[in-house]
Structure 1
Amino acid sequence: MNFYTSEPGILLAVDCIIFGFNGESLEILLIKRGFEPERNKWSLMGGFVQPDESPEGAASRVLTQLTGLEDLYMENCGIFGDPKRESQGRVVSITYFALIDTHKYEHIISDHYEAKWFPLDQHPNLIFDHEQMIAAAKKELRTKAALYPILFELLPEKFTIPQIASLYECVYNIELDKRNFSRKLLASDLIIKLKEKDKENSKKGAFYYRLNTDIYKEKIMSFLRYLPSWSVD
């Protein structure tokens, strides 16, 4: 017996805000919407939750379809359910943000989704309430990054100190004292110096480092407390 026949039909969707870092700036991955309404307009990647999957499972499926990558770092960042958010029916969307090292992002299903990276603060106008979703995701990213070392998910396996500094500046919209930042980071023992140098972006060459995964959970807070104050708004 169906006890819910008198209840209104509501579609449940997921929308994914995909952040990437190219070594210099924070970016967001957008697609050209391939169906009506709002066909051919820029949009976040999303989809409907199927009867046999959880919202988290749907978000993972959507991310894999777009990027070809599995087991991405993903966080819930809000629910959007204004009755008028879509004109063709009632759709409630659960949003997730994901973090990607863009150097690993080698597979774009461009023929189908026309996916493209845009600077986070210079992307085109988006459909529905997707701008609000990005704002919520950015706020949640800042909050989480102040408590956990999640920003390292945006970095390649080996990285330079200038890259880390640029990443924190992009996420928090702050300007760091680079010399002091480098000194504090090295003193934290969070990173391990490698013998290789990045000679493409510096005449002298900047040494590569990798994350010290054995102690970062223990040491990250002492490093984060050094960073200047910021607003999560």
Structure 2
Amino acid sequence: MTTSSVDTAEAGQEAARRPDVAVLVVIFTVVDSALQVLLIERSAPPAEGEWAIPGGALQHGESLEQAAVRKLAEETGVTDVFLEQLYTFADLDASPADGSVGVAWFALVDPARVRLAQRTAWRPGWWSLDAVPRLAFDNERVLEVARERLINKLQYTDAAYSLLPPTFTMRELQQVYEAILGRPLDKRNFRRRLLATDFIAATSEMRSDGRHRPARLYRFVGRF
């Protein structure tokens, strides 16, 4: 056997040993004061008829972040939102076509900006986290880790910016926090704590719904 043949054989053996990598993107939003997650119903094997977190195989020459951005854009039509790597799951019960190692990311999107993709292989849908069905490929674990990370991120970052329009009322911001944390918050304490973070700033604009006095609009500092 020639040297080139040996090298080719060794490369093939190495490729066979290397695990396939799938990228999963947990996409959260808040609708009607409820935290929701985007799931897809698979209409073809494997796991036909079951719901799963959006994901797919890492393409040749593609970085993990590029793959996550691609999947996010394919499913929602947006890219310029909060997106962060979550965790690497080495033992997921994954689809053989999608990979044996799952690198999960999570994203936050404003529902007003989303345009859900419609494909023959799967059907997308938003699910409230308290009504999520049984998920394929052990995806419950991924979703649980993503929710815990989101709750933690909310304590010390401005990640909520991605769930809201450029300007919003304090009440709308509080509703987002309450949806994520899963509990009501005291109005005065919430306002005081958020203003102390320097994440948000008041604008000169007011909004009125005709039933209550006009409410001050706020924005996230440095985001829009």
Q: TM-score range by the shorter chain?
A: 0.7 to 0.9
CA contact 2:30–2:179 (8 Å) conserved in 1: no
1:210 aligns with 2:184: no
Q: Retained in 2: the 8 A contact 1:99–1:154?
A: yes
Task: State the distance in 2 between where 1:73 and 1:188 align.
Answer: 19
Task: Kindly state the Cα deviation for residue 6 of structure 1 after the two structures are TM-superposed.
Answer: 3.0
Determine if contact 2:153/2:159 at 8 Å carries over to the other structure: yes
Separation in 2, partners of 1:172, 1:68: 27
**Aligned CA distance change for structure 1 residues 103 and 194 (closer, same or farther; 3 Å):** farther
Structure-2 separation of matches of 1:31 and 1:87: 14
Q: Which residue of 1 aligns with 2:130?
A: 121
- The letter of the residue matching 1:94 is V
Which of the pair has more CA radius of gyration?
2
User: Of residues 62, 74, 92 in structure 2, which corresponds to 1:65?
Assistant: 74
1:176 aligned partner? 185
State the Cα deviation string for residues 40-65 of structure 1 (Å, max 9, x = none): 21111101001120111111111111
Name the CA distance, whole Å, in 2 between partners of 1:43 and 1:31. 5
Change (3 A) 1:205 1:115: farther
Does residue 1:192 correspond to 2:208, yes or no? no
* Residue 118 of structure 2 corresponds to residue 110 of structure 1: yes
* 2:151 aligns with one of 128, 142, 159: 142
- Secondary structure of 1:156's aligned partner: coil
TM-score w.r.t. the length of structure 1 is 0.80
SS in 1 for 2:173: helix
Listed as ranges, the gaps of 5+ residues in structure 1 are: 215-233
TM-score scaled by structure 2?
0.83
In 2, are the aligned partners of 1:198 and 1:207 still within 8 Å (CA)?
no
- C-alpha separation in 1, matches of 2:145 and 2:65: 18
> Paired residue for 1:6?
13
In 2, the alpha carbon distance for the partners of 1:155 and 1:87 equals: 34
The SS at the match of 1:167 is helix
Letter in 2 for 1:6: Q
- Aligned mates of 2:77, 2:153 — CA distance in 1: 25
In 1: Cα distance, 2:221 partner to 2:32 partner? 20
Size of the alignment, in residue pairs?
A: 211
**Which residue does 1:223 correspond to in 2?**
none
Partner of 1:98: 107
Distance, in Å, in 1 between the alignment partners of 2:62 and 2:170 is 41
User: How far did 1:205 drift?
Assistant: 4.6
Does 1:160 find its partner at 2:169?
yes
**Is it true that 1:79 corresponds to 2:103 in the alignment?**
no
Q: Could you tell me which amino acid in structure 1 is paired with residue 69 of structure 2?
A: S
Amino-acid identity (%)? 31
Match of 1:19 in 2: 28
For the residues of structure 2 that align with 1:175 and 1:80, how far apart are their CA atoms? 33
One-letter amino acid of the counterpart of residue 62, structure 2: E
Any idea what SS the aligned residue of 1:116 has?
Answer: strand
- Using the TM superposition, give the Cα deviation of residue 184 of structure 1 relative to its aligned residue in structure 2, in angstroms: 4.1
Q: Report SS of the residue matched to 2:55.
A: strand
Counterparts of 1:20-59 in structure 2, within 5 Å, are: 20-22=29-31, 24-59=33-68
Q: Are 1:130 and 2:112 matched, yes or no? A: no
The root-mean-square deviation of aligned C-alpha atoms, in Å, is 2.4
